Amino acid sequence: VTCADEFHGLLCLCDRMCNFVCWLCNCKIVGGTDASRGEIPWQVSLKEDSMHFCGATIIGDRWLLSAAHCFNETNPEEIEAYLGTTSLNGTDGNAVKVNITRVIQHPLFNPVILDFDVAVLELARPLVFNKYIQPICLPLAVQKFPVGKKCIISGWGDLQEGNVTKPEILQKASVGIIDQETCDFLYNFSLTDRMICAGFLEGKVDSCQGDSGGPLACEVTPGVFYLAGIVSWGIGCAQAMNPGVYARITRLKDWILDTISQLPTWQPRRTRSG
């Protein structure tokens, strides 16, 4: 696996194109539809006592990203990551289960306003990438996701507000990037630069409880998806004038890379000379 930009271990920092296959998303998440297996190969279900509590995203062979607020009362040693499947209960027999050895929340994470809502998770063993398990690309700090751009949200969260029933099959939906000033106004000027909004002002499509920590994935070039955000917060689910708020990866990427590079198991990918 190589990348046109650079690698930190098997952490993909794609500038233009990755040589691994990125499978297209055709866009229950409120207002979503069932995802087919291999369609969103970076999606992870985090479980404690076999119960799904948050989503996560594969960014490297040993690294996941999720929302910091998912781990306020969680022991990392009791968390298991389920990958390579769209079935929440693993009924398709294809789920790969890996233990989590470390959860590192951003040191500036504010649980009141959910600023810096990001956490790095280290897996107990490296992943083997295939058609169903793939990392998503991390954007450059200068990457722009223009207003109106359609991106994909996914997860096993509630199908509607107030209904705690989780879908058996991974849900996906297409949402649009929303103007920052508009979103800040809708939320009484409570947004920070570490937040990005996506959804529809009329509501109807949104992430919901249980989707937290999952990906907001944007296709930048054909077949290549970048992680624009992490499902973080909102008011209700799919309510009009209350779009979803996501942790903005471009403003958090430096901390993510610094954190991973300082962990003892991290090894830089060696390049051949000559």
Query: Is the Cα dihedral 154, 7, 123, 90 positive or negative?
Result: positive
Q: Which of 89-93, 249-253, 269-273 is the most confident on average?
A: 249-253
- Is 69 annotated in the active site? yes
CA–CA separation, 68 vs 151, rounded Å? 22
Nearest to 153 by CA among 93, 95, 238: 238
| 40: its two tokens | 């969103």
The catalytic position among 66, 154, 207, 212 is: 212
Tell the residue number behind the tokens 């207002």, with chain if given: 31
- Is 212 annotated in the active site? yes
CA–CA separation, 46 vs 56, rounded Å? 7
CA–CA separation, 157 vs 238, rounded Å? 13
Q: Model confidence at 31, in pLDDT bands (50, 70, 90)?
A: low
For the cut 50, the answer to whether the pLDDT of residue 3 exceeds it is no
| 218: its two tokens | 């944007």
pLDDT for position 105: 97
CA–CA separation, 147 vs 127, rounded Å? 34
Which bin fits 32, alpha (ψ -120 to 50), beta or left (φ > 0)?
Answer: beta
The catalytic position among 117, 158, 206, 211 is: 117
Residues recorded for the chain: 274
The catalytic position among 8, 45, 66, 69 is: 69
| 260: its two tokens | 């991973």
**pLDDT tens for each residue of 161-219:** 455 567 788 999 899 999 999 999 999 999 999 999 998 776 555 455 557 899 999 99
The partner residues of 173 in beta bridges, in order of sequence, read 153
Measured CA angle at 218 (ends 216, 221), to 5 deg: 160
For the cut 60, the answer to whether the pLDDT of residue 148 exceeds it is yes
Domains observed in the chain: 6-22+38-136+253-262 (2.40.10.10), 150-250 (2.40.10.10)
- Taking the mean position of all CA atoms in its chain, how far away is CA 191? 19
Rg (CA), the chain: 17
Tell the residue number behind the tokens 């590079």, with chain if given: 261
For the cut 70, the answer to whether the pLDDT of residue 100 exceeds it is yes
Q: Model confidence at 92, in pLDDT bands (50, 70, 90)?
A: confident
Residue 204: how many other CB atoms lie within 10 Å:
12
pLDDT for position 95: 87
